[in-house]
Structure 1
Amino acid sequence: MKKTISILFTLLFSIYSFAQKTEIIVLGNIHQPVPNYNSDTIVTILDKIKPDFLLQEIDSSFFNVDFTFKTPPKENEGLASVKYIDKNNKAQMRPFDFEGRNEYRKINGFNPTEGLALKLVDSLYNENRLTKKQAKVYKKYIDLLEPLKIAASKDPRSFNNSINDKICKERQYYQYHKLLSVMKERSELSNTYYTQANAQKISYLKGFQLASEFWDLRNKTMAKNILKIAEENPGKKIIVLTGFMHRYYIISELKKLTKKDRNIIMKEFYD
């Protein structure tokens, strides 16, 4: 009898523990509507997995106190979330982006210097002014975008998988590390300046270097924010709606952060 009770207790505890598992699904998206991917595409996925929380790649400034949007969303993720919550009013939204992201970029001067630096390197490449080694790095950076474009033109699973994540990781490595090394070798980048609104000047090289550092800081911060929401809502199903170029980084960081937490599991939307 005691053995039977013990077995029943163990079984009930196991069922309870399983019920408390928190699921995190990172869905990489295309922000703007395109022929093969729009808000309805995301709604179809949401209807299938039925998340309790929909995490948005924006900060708290875009939300009211009840976590509804202050202004109607324009991007796929926001549009889809509103449609889904209209049908599932117990579901909730939360922001997970780096707080004050846009202002941080302006204050630190890498908006718009990051883009200006890339444009300058592109012109040096097209004018055959880069060394062979530098040109090889830039061409690799450009070429890595092509398979991502192909994947993005297909169905969501095509750009939500480990193979595409690997390409995204390599592409961003080339952008923020290999290209930065090229820029450090070019006097054009260190001697060309952008004048900020506060009248202070920042070189294209410095601006790009700050952008490179922010890529890491932002993604690591987003992963920590996601984990915090997950820990505050045990047993819930959470979908992270992010641009697919961020997916590999967020998943990698979350796996590190949840390595010893058996109550949080990572899944794909098609599992």
Structure 2
Amino acid sequence: MKNILNLFLLLLASFCFSQSKTEICIIGNIHDSVPNYHPKILFSILDKVKPDIILHEVDSKGMKEYESGIGITENEIKASNSYLKKYPGTLRFPFDFEGRNQYRKDRGMVPTDNLTVKLIDSLYKAKQLAPSEMKIYESFTNTTKDLMKIAELSPENFNNTATDQLSEKRQNAQYSELLKIVEARPEFANRFVVKPNGEKISYRNGFKLMSGFWDLRNHTMAQNIYKIAEKYPGKKIVVLTGFLHRYYILKELKRINNGTYVIKEFYD
């Protein structure tokens, strides 16, 4: 009888511990309102999950702009504002790389990243790429098109393992495979932009920096989420991010988790 009682108490303690664990739900978003995904849809998801904390893909400056509501059109903040109005006790925090936009401009990642992809596209259309380079670019564009089709569906379709895998393939194509073209061809070493400090940087070097920043940014975002989960144990946290980031953040959160939290989908 005593052994049965001890077993019951152990199971009860384990149950209570599991109930108190922090829950993290990563919702991949389309930032702009479209017929299949707009603030009302996201609000209904939030209202179903009922988070205690909402994390936004902005830095501290961006969070202040979000909270001001001036000129803000993104799905995430509109839905978040509606949720906060219904549940005033909800906490909201930024989780992005601090000073993200200025950091990229100061180092010349912007606008060299977009200019580089445009140049690759123009070389492709002019049939000036080598066969292996054409294959790389076609894989990148085809994967992008596949994701764009998925983004026209309901949010469950761009918040699942299959889409995460496709997003990872697409981002690896952009920041690893396209880089092979950039490093191999002289066009990208001979075109430049001027950074805010007046220094010139080549398309090649700017794109290489942006490729590295993709990893740095996602690692930083996952670490920031982890820190908030540690600071607010037992809470339900929703992370609102672009769906192309979802695979990376999930992978990092699973890697660094020391038992602090459990990860759930909004439709579980």
TM-score range for the pair, normalised by the shorter chain length: over 0.9
Deviation at 1:12?
3.9
CA contact (8 A) 1:24 1:267 kept: yes
Once residues 92 and 68 of structure 1 are traced to their aligned partners in structure 2, the CA distance between those partners, rounded to angstroms, is: 14
**1:18 matched to which residue of 2?**
18
Deviation at 1:150?
1.0
User: Unaligned stretches of 5+ in structure 1?
Assistant: none
Once residues 135 and 2 of structure 2 are traced to their aligned partners in structure 1, the CA distance between those partners, rounded to angstroms, is: 72
CA contact (8 A) 2:188 2:202 kept: yes
CA contact (8 A) 2:107 2:195 kept: no
**2:263 matched to which residue of 1?**
266
Once residues 28 and 62 of structure 1 are traced to their aligned partners in structure 2, the CA distance between those partners, rounded to angstroms, is: 19
TM-score by length of 2: 0.95
What do the CA deviations read for 1:165-208 (whole angstroms, capped 9, x no partner)? Answer: 11100011010001001111110001111122322100000000
Deviation at 1:7?
4.4
- Superposed, which structure 2 residues align to 1:166-245 within 5 Å? 166-245=165-244
**2:67 matched to which residue of 1?**
69
What do the CA deviations read for 1:226-260 (whole angstroms, capped 9, x no partner)? Answer: 011011111111111000000000000001011x4
Deviation at 1:23?
0.6
Within the alignment, does 1:32 sit opposite 2:32 as a pair?
yes
What do the CA deviations read for 1:22-74 (whole angstroms, capped 9, x no partner)? Answer: 1111000000001111111100101111111110000111345xx97134432
Once residues 68 and 6 of structure 1 are traced to their aligned partners in structure 2, the CA distance between those partners, rounded to angstroms, is: 52
Within the alignment, does 1:107 sit opposite 2:106 as a pair?
yes
CA contact (8 A) 1:144 1:167 kept: yes
Once residues 132 and 7 of structure 1 are traced to their aligned partners in structure 2, the CA distance between those partners, rounded to angstroms, is: 66
Counterpart residue type for residue 190 of structure 2: N
Deviation at 1:3?
4.5
CA contact (8 A) 2:106 2:197 kept: no
What do the CA deviations read for 1:96-139 (whole angstroms, capped 9, x no partner)? Answer: 00000001001111111111111111111100111111111111
Within the alignment, does 1:53 sit opposite 2:53 as a pair?
yes
Q: Secondary structure at the match of 1:25?
A: strand
CA contact (8 A) 2:218 2:245 kept: yes
Once residues 187 and 4 of structure 1 are traced to their aligned partners in structure 2, the CA distance between those partners, rounded to angstroms, is: 75
Within the alignment, does 1:95 sit opposite 2:117 as a pair?
no
Query: Compared with structure 1, are the counterparts of its residues 60 and 136 closer, same or farther at alpha carbon in structure 2 (3 Å cutoff)?
Result: same
Runs of 4+ that moved beyond 4 A: 1-5
Once residues 3 and 164 of structure 2 are traced to their aligned partners in structure 1, the CA distance between those partners, rounded to angstroms, is: 49
Q: Secondary structure at the match of 2:33?
A: coil
Once residues 50 and 71 of structure 1 are traced to their aligned partners in structure 2, the CA distance between those partners, rounded to angstroms, is: 22
RMSD of aligned alpha carbons? 1.6
Once residues 201 and 143 of structure 1 are traced to their aligned partners in structure 2, the CA distance between those partners, rounded to angstroms, is: 33
Matched-pair identity in %: 46
* Count of matched residue positions in the alignment of Structure 1 and Structure 2: 267
**2:123 matched to which residue of 1?**
124
CA contact (8 A) 1:29 1:244 kept: yes
Q: Secondary structure at the match of 1:98?
A: coil
Deviation at 1:20?
1.3
**1:147 matched to which residue of 2?**
146
User: Unaligned stretches of 5+ in structure 2?
Assistant: none
Once residues 138 and 237 of structure 2 are traced to their aligned partners in structure 1, the CA distance between those partners, rounded to angstroms, is: 39
Once residues 214 and 63 of structure 1 are traced to their aligned partners in structure 2, the CA distance between those partners, rounded to angstroms, is: 21
Once residues 63 and 136 of structure 1 are traced to their aligned partners in structure 2, the CA distance between those partners, rounded to angstroms, is: 41
Once residues 31 and 74 of structure 2 are traced to their aligned partners in structure 1, the CA distance between those partners, rounded to angstroms, is: 5
